[in-house]
Chains A and B, each alone.
Chain A
Amino acid sequence: MNQQLMNLVMKATGETLTMVSLSTLFSLLLGLPVGVLLHVTSSEEQGGIISNPVLNSVLGRIVNVLRSFPFIILMILLIPLSRAIVGTSIGTKATIVPLSIAAAPFVARIIESALKEVDPGVIQAARAMGSTNWQIIIKVMIPEAMPALVSGITLTIINLIGYSAMAGAIGGGGLGDLAIRYGYQRFRPEYMICCVVIILVLVEVIQVIGNKIAGKMLARR
């Protein structure tokens, strides 16, 4: 195997991992509060503890609009924002901005649906014992939903690996970038194959680890 291929692939894998892990972190920071808010403001029948239909439908609309935006267009639209935050609009660092923002609404919906699965009786018990709303969210809802949350986060990471490869199209760095520039534009199929295989392996590994963690949590209950 030639040395150049090895070097480039290693570097691109590192970039992809950086992009994916940082954008997972930021999308969680953005999406978690929104997801919790979406759930707690929903109607009482759906388990909302501080039901607020107006706030709920406004938030829901925003999340839906952002989610239905094609990622490739969102990336282009967010170029000024990336420049403002990280000082550049190309490369790994710049891609983290649109990746995080694209994944955040997805994360919010995943968190919302995980929290909806929590037994309403348990929430009622926590309320009857004199929990504040904050205590219910932090000490009951989120821990009770943890296995579903972990599965959701696994799904988010896998989605982000896919998105990050797409980001290569506008010079985002990482495996997708390498596959497009070398594999496609320079007609070198070995680069293309290498990148695709690594992406597939990454997805598989993340999925297995995610399933393991969620499974362990369920087994301890």
Chain B
Amino acid sequence: MQIILKNLKRYYGDLHAVDDVSLNIPSNTIYGIIGKSGAGKSSLVRLISMLEKPDAGEIYYDDKRIDTLDIKDVIQERRKIGMIFQNFNLFSSRNAEQNIAYPMEICGMDKEHIKKRCAELLEVVGLAGRGDAPISTLSGGQKQRVAIARALACEPEILFCDEATSALDPQTTRAILALIKEIQKKMSLTVVMITHQMEVVRDSCSRVAVLESGQVVEEGKVTDIFANPQSEVTKDFLSNVKISKKDIIRWSKEGGQYRLGFRGGKTDDVVISKVTRDTGAMFNIRAAGIQDVDGEKIGVMIVDIDSEHAEAAIEALIKGGVSVEEIK
């Protein structure tokens, strides 16, 4: 299901939590919304998921406008979306299976069907046979798996993930993201992934919107944004991406004036050598590596260029399809 936001606004007194946001979240993708804490991403997701009403603007699920529905219709509409949270928010008074059963119970499905569906869902999230486990006996990753199963119980078309991996360690985060990706493909879901971790966007999303002070400062394909970030916030996020050791090797801690970005086919080309031959510029490579972003390879190289030829070299690099950014 496609989600369209038009000029959404939500103010809390003087605080413009969501300030004129317009987005088009395409159907059947994983869409990232990234921002620092206080950037308004939680407020935004509360608006899109109908937990709050916007002060102004419009929200559409496909062609259906949902921000003007009355409470009865909102309740019906909420039953068609799934949501998972940073703190899992499972019912401690219920075991794993009863948690998954809850959304089906409130829709009034019959018991036989609920039981069958619970078993199916436990299987999907890799917890088959653990249905009778009390919530407190499960690890963080397992809790999030139960939460995912619960969110999928009524076969939603949209899944909201509100910082779903922020409370998990890196390994568990990867496993949960892999599960979400797998489910997204299997059920053709529209997944909206709210996060403050660029790693999560890199490992799971195909498009991303960068939020700052309630406004969208950058939006596009994740591969484009990783290769060629425009806004300061995005660059800041990217510079903090934790790259696992095997992705980037750094020879020298000091120096490195320029960051070169190579995309797709360019990673196979002999760009640097050509530039050296054509301009006479000397490169000193400080660090280099490749990141896997949404299935595409993005090469990164941190270099010094001798000052005499720097200008000509940069021009030649850009002409050769390499993005160049000066590191301050």
Q: Does B275 contact A (CB under 8 A)?
A: no
Number of interface residues of A (CB under 8 A): 20
Q: Does B106 contact A (CB under 8 A)?
A: yes
CA distance A121 to B91 in the complex (A): 10
CA distance A139 to B93 in the complex (A): 10
Flag if B103 contacts A129 (CB, 8 Å): yes
| Chain B residues closer than 8 Å to A146, beta-carbon distance | 93
Closest chain-A Cβ to B10's Cβ sits at a distance in Å of 15
Flag if B93 contacts A143 (CB, 8 Å): yes
Closest chain-A Cβ to B299's Cβ sits at a distance in Å of 41
| Chain B residues closer than 8 Å to A126, beta-carbon distance | 91, 102
Flag if B94 contacts A143 (CB, 8 Å): yes
Flag A121-148 by CB within 8 Å of B: 1 or 0 each.
1101111111110010001100110100
Q: Which of B79-87, B199-207, B239-247, B256-264 makes up part of the contact surface? A: B79-87
Closest chain-A Cβ to B5's Cβ sits at a distance in Å of 18
Q: Looking at the complex, which one of A124, A127, A139, A220 makes contact with B105 (CB distance below 8 Å)?
A: A139
Closest chain-B Cβ to A65's Cβ sits at a distance in Å of 34
Q: Does A119 contact B (CB under 8 A)?
A: yes
Closest chain-B Cβ to A127's Cβ sits at a distance in Å of 7
| Chain A residues closer than 8 Å to B103, beta-carbon distance | 129-130
Q: Looking at the complex, which one of B76, B89, B91, B93 makes contact with A130 (CB distance below 8 Å)?
A: B76
Flag if B93 contacts A221 (CB, 8 Å): yes
Flag if A131 contacts B106 (CB, 8 Å): yes
CA distance A128 to B46 in the complex (A): 9
Q: Looking at the complex, which one of A135, A144, A221 makes contact with B106 (CB distance below 8 Å)?
A: A135
Number of interface residues of B (CB under 8 A): 27
Flag if B79 contacts A122 (CB, 8 Å): no
| Chain A residues closer than 8 Å to B90, beta-carbon distance | 122, 125
> If A128-B51, A129-B102, A135-B106 touch, does A140 touch B91 (CB 8 Å cutoff)?
yes
| Chain B residues closer than 8 Å to A220, beta-carbon distance | 134
Flag if B49 contacts A143 (CB, 8 Å): no
Q: Does B109 contact A (CB under 8 A)?
A: no
The residue on B at minimum CB distance from A220 is B134
Flag if B92 contacts A221 (CB, 8 Å): yes
Flag B135-163 by CB within 8 Å of A: 1 or 0 each.
11000000000000010000000001000
Flag if B134 contacts A125 (CB, 8 Å): no
| Chain B residues closer than 8 Å to A122, beta-carbon distance | 89-92
Residues of B participating in the A interface, judged by any CB pair closer than 8 Å: 49, 51, 75-79, 81, 83, 85, 87, 89-94, 102-103, 105-107, 134-136, 150, 160
CA distance A130 to B160 in the complex (A): 14
The residue on A at minimum CB distance from B137 is A221
Main secondary structure of the interface of B (DSSP, over half): mixed
| Chain B residues closer than 8 Å to A144, beta-carbon distance | 91-93
CA distance A130 to B50 in the complex (A): 10
CA distance A143 to B92 in the complex (A): 9
CA distance A220 to B87 in the complex (A): 20
> If A121-B89, A139-B102 touch, does A130 touch B75 (CB 8 Å cutoff)?
yes
CA distance A140 to B51 in the complex (A): 17
7 more A-B residue pairs beyond the given contacts A125-B89, A128-B160, with a C-beta to C-beta distance below 8 A: A121-B85, A121-B87, A122-B91, A124-B51, A129-B102, A130-B77, A132-B75
Flag if A128 contacts B83 (CB, 8 Å): yes
| Chain A residues closer than 8 Å to B89, beta-carbon distance | 119, 121-122, 124-125
Flag if A130 contacts B136 (CB, 8 Å): no
CA distance A143 to B90 in the complex (A): 13
Q: Which 6 A-B pairs have the closest CB atoms?
A: A130-B78, A130-B79, A125-B89, A143-B93, A121-B89, A128-B83
| Chain A residues closer than 8 Å to B79, beta-carbon distance | 129-130
CA distance A177 to B102 in the complex (A): 51
CA distance A171 to B316 in the complex (A): 104
Closest chain-B Cβ to A138's Cβ sits at a distance in Å of 10
CA distance A130 to B72 in the complex (A): 10
| Chain A residues closer than 8 Å to B94, beta-carbon distance | 143
| Chain A residues closer than 8 Å to B91, beta-carbon distance | 122, 126, 140, 143-144
| Chain A residues closer than 8 Å to B51, beta-carbon distance | 124, 127-128
Closest chain-B Cβ to A146's Cβ sits at a distance in Å of 6
Enumerate 19 A-B pairs (CB-CB under 8 Å) in ascending A order: A124-B85, A125-B85, A125-B89, A127-B51, A127-B78, A128-B49, A128-B160, A129-B83, A129-B102, A130-B79, A130-B106, A131-B75, A131-B106, A132-B106, A135-B106, A140-B91, A143-B94, A144-B91, A146-B93
Closest chain-B Cβ to A216's Cβ sits at a distance in Å of 12
The residue on B at minimum CB distance from A122 is B89
Closest chain-A Cβ to B269's Cβ sits at a distance in Å of 49
Flag if A125 contacts B75 (CB, 8 Å): no
Flag A143-161 by CB within 8 Å of B: 1 or 0 each.
1101000000000000000
| Chain A residues closer than 8 Å to B75, beta-carbon distance | 130-132
Closest chain-B Cβ to A50's Cβ sits at a distance in Å of 11
